[in-house]
Structure 1
């Protein structure tokens, strides 16, 4: 039997933020087994952990369709699950990933968790065919990083009102689309939504990896290193970002909502 938990990330309120499943494995099974578990969990991401030593773990993330290179909310959920299920040692957990190198989670005295992630800045570009049409958006600016397109709109109200055509958006060649605008309510500096139908996630409730891009975008525009974003999905979530030396600290809270055991052995 394999222990697992589901935790809501970037929130301190159950049934808000972004839920991620966290599975604790003794070794790596086949990729197909990992994909099947992810489809069974049917959340935007499932995190799989294998313990190395002390507070060091190997980490991989899967959507219901594919393995992804970087996932913030499932990493935050993983750290929270480990610290609330008896993980011993210092207030730092090191996650070793094959696709994004070493990532760290640090437990803060405030009860928040700070993730040390790589910055993922976006470069301004022309919008590809179908992007703005599928979003139903009028862009102020469009940019792209290695994962996603970023689309800046004029107002937070426009971001909140979007109703994308997911079938058409899935045809745009990218992982997903980050849509963002300046916030109009304190204490937030910007708002965003994230759509990724091409990888099986029509709208992600709160997206840590997108904030590795948003931190650079709004930090540059506002000439700030410390900002707070609100992801305006139906569930909603808060991500504080701190930029430093090509890295981004993603700071937030998490709450566990489910614990259990997988009864199907790894294959």
Structure 2
């Protein structure tokens, strides 16, 4: 379905069962050759913006979300997303730690 509609990824989220986290997410991208991305900062940042503009998050208030992703793949990660009010275009800041899993050079 993603290929048919020209969509690179499908980012799913839930507020339920996330325990010490605000959200739990998964990101599927088979249309671009990746079954599932373990941790996706850009998608989680976009998700936080969506939650803000669609009023899942209280307006005119700064929110800091702790998002868990990758547990089902045994590659768990945490993304910290801050949403700052700025009219209909909130300012989104994404943070977290990263690990190099592969390194190479292109010639």
Superposed displacement of residue 238, structure 1: 0.7
Q: Deviations over 1:89-128 (max 9, x none)?
A: xxxxxxxxxxxxxxxxxxxxxxxxxxxxxxxxxxxxxxxx
Q: Deviations over 1:27-49 (max 9, x none)?
A: xxxxxxxxxxxxxxxxxxxxxxx
Question: Hey, what does 1:253 align to over in structure 2?
Answer: 97
Asked whether the 8 Å contact 2:25–2:69 carries over to 1, the reply is: yes
Please give the alpha-carbon distance, in whole angstroms, between the structure 1 residues aligned to 2:30 and 2:98: 25
* 1:226 aligned onto 2:46: no
* 1:191 aligned onto 2:24: yes
Superposition pairs of residues 122-141 of structure 1, within 5 angstroms: 130=1
Superposition CA RMSD, Å: 2.5
TM-score (norm 2): 0.71
Query: Which structure has the higher relative contact order (CA within 8 Å, separation 6+)?
Result: 1
TM-score (norm 1): 0.32
Superposition pairs of residues 208-247 of structure 1, within 5 angstroms: 208-219=41-52, 220-223=55-58, 225-232=63-70, 233-234=72-73, 235-244=75-84, 245=86, 246-247=90-91
Change in Cα spacing, 1:195 to 1:221, as seen in structure 2 (3 Å) is same
Asked whether the 8 Å contact 1:170–1:196 carries over to 2, the reply is: no
Query: How many residue pairs get matched?
Result: 96
Superposed displacement of residue 258, structure 1: 5.9
Q: Which has the higher strand share?
A: 1
Gaps of 5+ in 1: 1-129, 131-168
* 1:174 aligned onto 2:7: yes
Superposed displacement of residue 256, structure 1: 4.0
Please give the alpha-carbon distance, in whole angstroms, between the structure 2 residues aligned to 1:241 and 1:253: 13
Asked whether the 8 Å contact 2:18–2:68 carries over to 1, the reply is: no
Superposed displacement of residue 197, structure 1: 1.4
Please give the alpha-carbon distance, in whole angstroms, between the structure 1 residues aligned to 2:29 and 2:65: 24
Gaps of 5+ in 2: none
Change in Cα spacing, 1:199 to 1:253, as seen in structure 2 (3 Å) is same
Asked whether the 8 Å contact 1:239–1:251 carries over to 2, the reply is: yes
